[in-house]
Amino acid sequence: MTRRRVLLILNLLASVCQSSRVLAICVLGCFGSVFAQSNVVTAAREYFRYTRDAAISQAAKQNYLIVDAAIWAHARGDLSDVRLYDHEAQVPYKLSEEQSASSTDERPARILNLGVRSGRTEFDLDIGGEAEYNRVLLHLQAANFVATATTEGRDALGVSGETTGRKLSTSTLYDFSREALGNHFALNLPLSTFRYLHVSITPAILPRNVAGASTSVQREAQTAWISAGRCHSPEQAGRVTRIVCDLDPGVPVGRILFTVPSAQVNFRRSYRVRSVAANGDSPQASELGSGSISRIRMKSGGREVVTEELAPSFYTRNESQNVFQVLIEIDNGDNTPLTVEKVEPQSVERRIYFDPAGRTAISLYYGDEKLPAPDYDYAKFFNKDADAAQAILGVESQNPNHTRRPDERPWSERHQWVMWGTMLLAVAVLAALALKGLTSRAPAAK
């Protein structure tokens, strides 16, 4: 095809498009109206599969409901389809995890005046711009020791680096690498704002062992836990203690609580958690997590160290509606098998806070897989009351008025054949117009 003919075709197409702009505008307007249709999914009581009554005994104060296993089993995984109703009207709420605040990011502290005074290793920490802190983590390059550290808070340092401050705490530091029982290098303090901390450690630690320090804030608030399943009796398989646990459907597991007789001390055992296949074939199970449990009660240099970790953090979630199983394996090494009285998967308690506004009863609805999370002003400006009262949930029942949610997809998604047919028709019309223009304006053959 010659360059002249190509240019002619392009000019003809441009002319056709210009002359057919009305058709194009109509087609685009049709598609625009189709795609502009709203895809908002609204809440209505008849679309929830499950309902429960909630009895309110103290209607004049903030109340809460505890999310239990039945709600986890039948609500969406993020609990976004939970709604409270007073007849036809929704009752705003705030979903809250009853979990203690975790530590803020650790910030390094500058070490000053490191040396030995009166046989003790002493130094000052420049906290700098840290507004508040209640925990100091020392970075110690030492092993197999027990030491005592005292801490003073100071607003300023003297010329020689020595000044009197306020005593804040006495902490025990230790490392039991030889016994494979771990270490502890943290100083726990009352919430403080001193610019400087003066630390004095018994001779078990030398100045060359102090490599650094960091501060953080850890606000202690008791975490509330609820059961997330049941475990079978432990079984021994050589050096391994095996425990099978049934998890409640849908409940997210936040930790595993091991109960070991108080008489058993000075142990540290590693464990791992594996999923159990639906057919019970554990060899094909996947590993979900691992860690260690311990209890230490030791005396060294006249000082006693007491610590234990029997509730390690763990996370898994069963998305199916069937009971999900996990296998816990404790490696006893060459030691006498650990006596485990009880094992319990646990979940952080979730609460639904709301204002009864004088109501003595409301209804809880859930089980709408298409409903998004609500958007309440109450949740945005929520403030938890320390004396909030618990409302009591009744027995779960299927919603007697339940009906299937209609297809709320945009018109274009529900009638794609119309959209594509219209598009093909528009293309065909434009092509016909282009061809007609080409044949009517083509130059005569020489």
pLDDT band at 295 (very low <50, low <70, confident <90, very high): very high
Residue 422 to residue 24: CA distance in whole angstroms: 12
Mean pLDDT, residues 226-237 taken together: 94
Give all strands of the β-sheet with 225-227 in edge-to-edge order. 225-227, 342-348, 253-259, 313-316
Q: Are 424 and 432 in contact (CB under 8 A)?
A: no
Mean pLDDT, residues 313-341 taken together: 81
Question: What local confidence, expressed as pLDDT, does residue 20 receive?
Answer: 47
Mean pLDDT, residues 241-265 taken together: 93
Q: How far apart are the first and last CA of the chain?
A: 16
> Which helix H or strand E contains 144, and what residues bound it?
none
Residue 15 to residue 413: CA distance in whole angstroms: 34
Res. 283: pLDDT tops 60: no
Question: What local confidence, expressed as pLDDT, does residue 4 receive?
Answer: 54
Q: Are 171 and 148 in contact (CB under 8 A)?
A: yes
Lowest mean pLDDT among 58-62, 208-212, 405-409: 405-409
What are the DSSP calls for 292-344, one per residue?
A: EEEEEEEEETTEEEEEEE-S-EEEE---SSS-EEEEEEEE-TTSPPP---EEE
Tokens read off for 253 = 């597991």
Question: What local confidence, expressed as pLDDT, does residue 23 receive?
Answer: 46
More confident residue, 314 or 120: 120
Res. 34: pLDDT tops 50: no
Residue 425, helix vs strand vs coil:
helix
pLDDT band at 432 (very low <50, low <70, confident <90, very high): confident
Residue 190 to residue 188: CA distance in whole angstroms: 7
Q: What is the mean pLDDT of the chain?
A: 83
Res. 36: pLDDT tops 70: no
For the structural domain made of 225-348, what CATH number should be given? Answer: 2.60.120
Res. 282: pLDDT tops 50: no
Cβ atoms within 10 Å of 80's Cβ, excluding its own: 15
Mean pLDDT, residues 102-117 taken together: 85
Q: Are 132 and 189 in contact (CB under 8 A)?
A: no
* % of residues, the chain, pLDDT over 90: 53
Question: What local confidence, expressed as pLDDT, does residue 324 receive?
Answer: 79
pLDDT band at 442 (very low <50, low <70, confident <90, very high): low
Which CATH number is correct for 107-216, 2.40.128, 3.30.960, 3.40.1000, 2.60.120?
2.60.120
Cβ atoms within 10 Å of 196's Cβ, excluding its own: 22
Question: What local confidence, expressed as pLDDT, does residue 193 receive?
Answer: 86
Question: What local confidence, expressed as pLDDT, does residue 26 receive?
Answer: 44
Residue 46 to residue 404: CA distance in whole angstroms: 8
More confident residue, 424 or 64: 64
Q: Using CB atoms within 10 A of its CB, is residue 71 exposed (0-12), middle (13-18) or buried (19+)?
A: buried
Nearest to 215 by CA among 199, 203, 227, 239: 199
Tokens read off for 166 = 């306020």
Tokens read off for 189 = 């303090």
Mean pLDDT, residues 40-51 taken together: 90
More confident residue, 232 or 422: 232
Question: What local confidence, expressed as pLDDT, does residue 258 receive?
Answer: 97
Res. 159: pLDDT tops 60: no
DSSP state of 125: E
Cβ atoms within 10 Å of 173's Cβ, excluding its own: 22
Question: What local confidence, expressed as pLDDT, does residue 298 receive?
Answer: 80
- Angle separating helix axes 21-35 and 3-19, nearest 10 degrees: 60
Return the CA Rg of the chain.
34
Res. 415: pLDDT tops 80: no
Cβ atoms within 10 Å of 122's Cβ, excluding its own: 19
What pLDDT, in 10s, does the model give residues 68-88? 999 999 999 899 999 999 999
Mean pLDDT, residues 37-46 taken together: 75
Residue 113 backbone class (left: φ over 0; alpha: ψ -120 to 50; beta: rest): left
